[in-house]
Amino acid sequence: MKIYIGNDHAGVDMKNHIVKYLKSNGYEVINIGTDNEDSVDYPDFGKEVAKKVVENKSFGIVICGTGIGISIAANKVKGARAALCYEDQTTILARQHNNANILALGARMIANEKAVRLVDIFLNTKFEERHKNRVEKLNNQ
Ligand code: RB5
């Protein structure tokens, strides 16, 4: 499966950890984030990842310092459902209830190891079809 990943300057190190994990688990990774710590604007990366995820019906990961700004940016793209998660349970529920297609992470808020665990949970938790109508409403807003 193709995974789109994008980040600002705050998320470079976390992005590299996640890319390594994804590749070693057989995912095809498309890196559209910045790769150095020169200051950039997170809205550009959130939007780009969300557009690709919606176009390709795939999954994405977006990372900034808190995960807040880049998740706001991603959610402005129609069809994007970005969930900012800091721990296991909300990550599980973001998939089961909201059919989140983008995981947003805060590189200054959680450790890289935890982020990798959340990515693993996110990619391996299935949407529960009983929540379909609500997700449809989100798509039509
Ligand atoms: C960049 O300094 C920081 O504002 C950004 O990474 C993010 O946390 C915004 O929400």
pLDDT of the residue at 68: 98
Under the phi-then-psi rule, with left for phi > 0, alpha for psi from -120 to 50, and beta for the rest, what region is 121? alpha
pLDDT band at 57 (very low <50, low <70, confident <90, very high): very high
Q: To test the ligand 1 pocket, which listed residue (15, 63, 70) has its Cβ within 8 A of the most ligand atoms?
A: 70
- What is the domain count for the chain? 1
For position 111, which CATH number holds? 3.40.1400.10
Asked if residue 74 has pLDDT above 90, the reply is: yes
Asked if residue 1 has pLDDT above 90, the reply is: no
- Minimum CA distance residue for ligand 1 atom 4: 65
pTM over cut 0.85: yes
Q: Which of 57, 74, 45, 49 is nearest to 127 (CA)?
A: 57
pLDDT in tens, 96-132: 999 999 999 999 999 999 999 999 999 999 999 999 9
Q: Average of pLDDT values for 8-15?
A: 98
Q: To test the ligand 1 pocket, which listed residue (9, 42, 44) has its Cβ within 8 A of the most ligand atoms?
A: 42
By residue range, what is the domain housing residue 11?
2-139
